[in-house]
Amino acid sequence: MKTNNFQIATKLLLITILSTTLFLSCKKNEDEVIVYGDAKFKVVNAVQGSSAQDFYQGDTKVTTTAVAYGEVSDYLTVKAGTSTISFKTAGTQTVNASNTVGANTDINYTLFYVNNLNGSGEIIGFADSNAQPASGKAHVRFLNLGGVLTNAINISVNSGQELLTGLAFGKISNYGAIDANVDLKFSLVGSVSSTVIPGSSFQSGKTYTVWFDAANTTTAQYHIVAQN
């Protein structure tokens, strides 16, 4: 692995990520009727202390099982194109976060229900990679949702090789390749304490998103979303 394998990208709201391609394609021919197929959304509840959430596209509940904090759904088939998506308290019509987005046909996305720094519900999301890792490798990206942390997060191989430094709140890395079954560790910038992510979490040929949140200002915790 090269230490420059990972780079930090700026956090983008879901509407920004998904709508750009749609907008550009519509400009090609304003009279052309674009017919969209299906996309797939994997949804994650990343709000500590929240009730389990139902996920909706428009007025249609897409999840069959409510998603509790720290849980992730399977990929859900949704209609591509522009729509309003929302997270609602399970079994109710109480909307906790909502956004109007555009999804591209045959693209998979992972969506997160989060609290912003003001404590308000928000939806962020990112397109998922469909690139196949090389034999003996896994693909992984990292996302910091620990808004209460006083410092950013450093990530490395447990044996010492640095992967990513200074992952601040609201930032996500690109995908990078790691050896399958390798232990990783993370720590807050300036801290001598670290937490190990067991290598058994990273299987050959698999792709993952590791997201972090925080129990308090000095303690980050990790969660893993498997894409395949």
Average pLDDT on 210-214 reads: 97
- As beta bridge partners, residue 40 has 77, 108
Instruction: Name the residue type at position 161.
Output: Q
Tally of domains within the chain? 2
Domain for residue 8, yes or no? no
Report the percent of the chain where pLDDT is more than 90. 80
Identify the pLDDT of residue 30: 60
Q: And the tokens for 50? A: 């929240």
Domain for residue 6, yes or no? no
Are 217 and 189 members of one domain?
Answer: yes
With cut-offs at 50, 70 and 90, classify the pLDDT of residue 29: low
* pLDDT score of 160 more than 80: yes
Average the pLDDT over each of 6-15, 39-48, 119-128, 141-150 and give the range with the smallest value.
6-15
Contact criterion met (CB below 8 Å) for 183 and 114: no
Domain for residue 7, yes or no? no
pLDDT: which is higher, 56 or 10:
56
Integer Cα distance of 181 and 158 in angstroms: 11
Integer Cα distance of 208 and 142 in angstroms: 9
Across all residues in the chain, what is the average pLDDT? 89
Domain boundary among 98, 127, 156: 127
Domain boundary among 107, 127, 147: 127
Contact criterion met (CB below 8 Å) for 10 and 168: no
* pLDDT score of 3 more than 90: no
Are 82 and 120 members of one domain?
Answer: yes
- Which residue has tokens 């994650």? 44
* CA angle, 221 then 170 then 181, to 5°: 45
* pLDDT score of 74 more than 90: yes
Integer Cα distance of 83 and 78 in angstroms: 10
Are 179 and 117 members of one domain?
Answer: no
For 78-115, how does the pLDDT look when each residue is reduced to its tens digit (9 = 90+)? 999 999 999 999 999 999 999 999 999 999 999 999 99
Domain boundary among 73, 99, 127: 127
Domain for residue 115, yes or no? yes
Are 118 and 137 members of one domain?
Answer: no
Are 94 and 142 members of one domain?
Answer: no
Are 105 and 155 members of one domain?
Answer: no
Task: Note down the domain range covering 26.
Answer: 14-127
Are 206 and 137 members of one domain?
Answer: yes
Integer Cα distance of 108 and 159 in angstroms: 33
CA 158 and chain centroid, separation: 23
